[in-house]
Amino acid sequence: MRVGILGAGKIAGIMARTLREMENVQAWAVASRERERAEEFARTYGIERAYGSYEELVEDPAVDLIYVATPHSHHAEHCLLCIEHGKPVLCEKAFTANAAQARQVLARAEERGVFLTEAIWTRYMPSRRMIDDLIGEGALGEVVSLTANLGYPLTHVERIMEPALAGGALLDIGIYPLNFASMVLGDEVEDVTSACVKTSTGVDAQSSIVLRYRDGKMATLHTTVLAATEQYGIIYGTKGYLIAHNINNIDRISLFGPDRSLRREITVPKQITGYEYEVEACRRALETGALECPEMPHAQTLCMMEQMDALRRDWGVRYPFE
Domain identity same for 109 and 202: no
Looking at residue 249, what is its pLDDT?
96
Domain count, the chain: 2
Q: What is the biggest distance separating any 2 CA atoms in the chain, rounded to whole angstroms?
A: 60
Last residue of a domain, one of 66, 99, 120: 120
- Taking the C-alpha atoms of residue 206 and residue 197, their distance in angstroms, rounded to an integer, is 5
**Is the distance from CB of 125 to CB of 212 less than 8 angstroms?**
no
**pTM of the predicted model as reported, rounded to 2 decimal places:** 0.96
- Taking the C-alpha atoms of residue 299 and residue 263, their distance in angstroms, rounded to an integer, is 37
Last residue of a domain, one of 244, 270, 296: 270
Is residue 93 part of the annotated active site? The answer reads: yes
- Rounded-to-5 percentages of helix, strand, coil across the chain: 40, 25, 35
- CATH at 254: 3.30.360.10
Exposed/middle/buried for 61, CB within 10 Å: 0-12, 13-18, 19+?
exposed
Per residue in 289-304, pLDDT (tens digit) is 999 999 999 999 999 9
Per residue in 217-260, pLDDT (tens digit) is 999 999 999 999 999 999 999 999 999 999 999 999 999 999 99
Q: Which of 10, 93, 198, 239 is catalytic?
A: 93
Confirm whether 155 is domain-assigned: yes
**Domain of residue 183, residue span:** 126-270
Per residue in 49-103, pLDDT (tens digit) is 999 999 999 999 999 999 999 999 999 999 999 999 999 999 999 999 999 999 9
Per residue in 182-204, pLDDT (tens digit) is 999 999 999 999 999 999 999 99
Per residue in 1-33, pLDDT (tens digit) is 999 999 999 999 999 999 999 999 999 999 999
